[in-house]
Structure 1
Amino acid sequence: MATLALPTRAERDGDKQRRSVLKSNGALVAYVFILPYVVFFLAFRILPAIYAAVLSFAKYGLSGNVGFVGLDNYARLLADDLFWNSLRVTGVYTVLAIPLTVAISLAVATLCNRTLRGMSIYRTIFFLPVVTSPVMSGIIWVWIFSQNGPLTWFLNTLHLPAPAWLQSEIFVLPALAIVSAWSNFGYDMLILLAGMLAIPREYYEAAELDGTSGWQRFRHITLPLLKPALFFVVVLEIIRSFQVFDTIFVMTGGGPVRASYSLTFLIYDQGFGYFDFGYASAAGMVLLVITLVVSLAQRRLLGRSSS
């Protein structure tokens, strides 16, 4: 017969201590400070997601009449060439943007991981694109990629052909990937730099005594110990790439010939262009599922790497 295990005195004392902490004035103050964020998160994140999930099974337009249609919106998605094109565009953009952003972030983090005079100023400068408005960044980069912009002038100086970046079906996604790398590398740089600073200096000192080169130390010490931070940065960039909208809206509007028509732009276009909110919500649910799958994969990969 199974016996009921009674809690020990230490466990009872621990439970009493935790309950007293939860009821203390400090805990109440902490609850008051986090309450605005919780309310904001529920009002602008959770409730809209639930509402979108409900709308994905309905037909809803400007008339305001909601009609339940079951899985018809998802069946339309599977049969819609525009949806598959947006998914392909998003995938290609992700494949182009992530390696470029991670490579630049890792290189800049390595350069900033030095004890040089004025290094904090350089780190601040590298972080400035992160706090720059996406709309302003898009307008600036439209000028840079224009036929009268500095990039065209630089290529012509080197006697190299300057393509019409934003008007070309071939070059528009690489151009947007460059803008994404410029906008996001500062944030990723800080994450990677924090991971580098957490590596014990004794490892590098021992490697230097063994006569290893800088590349060998980076390859055999920095990269293996930086793996959790790299995994986090990669997954973060995957989520960003699948949710890209601002730069596409400002710079290309989904063109040319829908060569930059991403999944998020499809959601916007169907919802606020054609006012088919049910169909747009179904596409949004697909994007949500993709994001959740990537997040769960990231959690498993991080768990394996840490073990």
Structure 2
Amino acid sequence: MTLERTAAPRPTWRQRVRDPGWGLIFVLPMLVLFVIFRFVPSLGAVGMSFTDYRLSGEFTFIGAENYRRLIEDDLFFDSLRVTLLYALMYVPLTLVVSLGTATMLHHVVRGRGLFRGLLFLPYVTSFVMAGIIWIWIYQSDGLINGALERIGLGPVAFLTGNQAMVLGSLAIVSVWKSFGYSMLILLAGLKNIPEDLMEAATLDGAGAWAKFRRITLPLLRPVIFFVLVIETIVAFQVFDTIYVMTGGGPARASYGLVYMLYDQGFKFFDFGYAATIGVMLFLVVLVISLVQRYVLDRENT
């Protein structure tokens, strides 16, 4: 007796239109909000970058004059350098802390939910509150310097020292504030690694470090690169921590691109030039994200 496989009937054109239509109806409210509050303002900022737009609402079309001015502005390149240095400190440190805490949580048997909530708690606090807390920790009679004085090392100027000290101190605050998000993403990636591979490696005599290096890291590579892209974007958008803790100082040692955008737009009310800085910031982040995406695709293939 032979069984004949009957082909499934092809959906009619009404079904092909109706099914995606229902999905569009469900996402339509969020799509409308995205277009109104994200897409349209972004296009408006691009258009504003070609104008001399003032607080009164009057504007004059000046073409690429703002971009020429930006290329000749030494402050822009100094701010870009500060932002790059900050990203080079913040992104690797965030990845290491997030991966370390995710790995520990993955092996915790009892109280996993409690520890996860405690580690994620800084992420849900505001940057302003985090900045105020860490100003007290970093100040000359604060928690860290108090401990250093007891062992005879003296006070350290965390927020008023050289550029490396200031940016490193700010990066530590941002890592403490933000690592919980990446930790949860990496923890989800760890849970998707088959336990059979770990058991087989244990039977073959592999230690914890060998299993982590040979199994965990290769299988976690797509998640790690996703975290790198997200945290790089976060690093280039840093503003709250700088605004609360240093105000761009000392001597503009922490004067990043977004802080420069804020000054031009809301201190000097030069909205056209501020929009130009925002467009250039978008292009810089886009190029870095594309490079990371290229590396991700190459590693996966």
Offset at 1:11?
8.3
- The residue number in structure 2 matching 1:131 is 124
Rate the CA distance shift 1:128–1:64 in 2: closer, same or farther, 3 A.
Answer: same
The structure-2 alpha-carbon separation of the partners of 1:72 and 1:134, relative to structure 1 and needing over 3 Å to count, comes to same
2:249 alignment partner, SS class:
coil
Displacement of 1:10 after TM fit? 6.5
- Partners of 2:153 and 2:12 lie apart in 1 by 72
Which residue matches 1:57?
50
CA distance in structure 1 between the partners assigned to 2:14 and 2:298 by the alignment: 36
Q: Which runs of 5+ in 1 are unaligned?
A: 1-8
The answer (yes or no) to whether the contact 1:138–1:250 under 8 Å persists in 2 is yes
Distance in 2 (alpha carbons) for counterparts of 1:63 and 1:19: 48
The aligned residue for residue 170 of structure 2 is: 176
TM-superposition CA deviations, 1:186-217 (whole Å, max 9, x none): 11111111111100011111111111111111
Match of 2:213 among 219, 224, 227: 219
Q: Do 1:98 and 1:234's aligned partners in 2 also have CA atoms closer than 8 Å?
A: yes
User: Structure 1 residue 153: deviation in Å?
Assistant: 1.1
Q: Secondary structure at the match of 2:159?
A: helix
2-structure distance, mates of 1:195, 1:96: 24
Matched, 1:245 2:245: no
Match of residue 167 from structure 1: 160
Please, which runs of 5 or more residues in structure 2 have no aligned partner? 1-6
1:97-136 to 2 correspondences below 5 Å:
97-136=90-129
Shift of residue 14, structure 1, vs aligned partner: 6.3
Alpha-carbon distance between aligned partners in 1 of 2:18 and 2:45, rounded to the nearest angstrom = 41
Please list, as runs of the form range in 1=range in 2, the aligned pairs for 1:1-307 lying within 5 A after superposition. Answer: 12-13=10-11, 15-22=13-20, 27=22, 31=24, 33-170=26-163, 171-307=165-301
**How has the CA–CA distance of structure 1 residues 33 and 230 changed in structure 2, closer, same or farther, with 3 Å as cutoff?**
same
| Distance (Å, rounded) in 2 between the aligned partners of 1:299 and 1:103 | 20
CA distance in 2, matches of 1:88, 1:276: 22
For the residues of structure 2 that align with 1:190 and 1:110, how far apart are their CA atoms? 10
**Residue 154 (structure 1) shift:** 1.7
1:31, distance to aligned residue in structure 2 (A): 4.5
Matched letter for residue 62 of structure 2: V
Aligned residues: 294
Q: Any conservation in 2 of the 1:169–1:257 contact (CA below 8 Å)?
A: no
Partner letter of residue 270 of structure 1?
Q
Distance apart, 1:108 and its partner CA: 0.5
State the alpha-carbon separation in 1 of the partners of residues 212 and 147 from structure 2: 33
Q: Deviations over 1:21-41 (max 9, x none)?
A: 245xxx2xx555533322221
Deviation at 1:115, TM superposition (A): 4.1
2:4 paired residue number = none
Which range moves more in the overlay, 90-99 or 58-67?
58-67
Name the CA shift for 1:114/1:156 in 2 (closer, same or farther; >3 Å).
same
Distance 1:36 1:92 in 2: 40
How far residue 83 of structure 1 moved from its aligned partner, in angstroms, is: 0.5
Shift of 1:15: 4.8
CA distance in 2 between counterparts of 1:11 and 1:91 reads 57
Deviation >4 Å, runs of 4+: 9-12, 30-33
Determine the C-alpha separation between the residues in 2 that align with 1:58 and 1:48: 15
Distance 1:113 1:71 in 2: 53
- 1:5 aligns with none
TM-score, normalised by the number of residues in structure 2: 0.92
User: For 1:42 and 1:78, how far apart are their aligned partners in 2?
Assistant: 31
Q: Can you list the C-alpha shifts for 1:276-300, whole angstroms capped at 9, x where unaligned?
A: 0111110100011112223333333
> Matched residues in 1 for 2:25 and 2:244: separation?
39
Shift of 1:85: 0.7
Shift of 1:18: 2.7
Whether the aligned pair in 2 keeps the contact of 1:57 and 1:73 (CA below 8 Å) is: yes
- The share of aligned pairs that are identical, in percent, is 50
| Aligned-partner SS, 2:11 | helix
For 1:6, the equivalent position in structure 2 comes to: none
Measured in 1, the distance between the counterparts of 2:125 and 2:199 equals 39
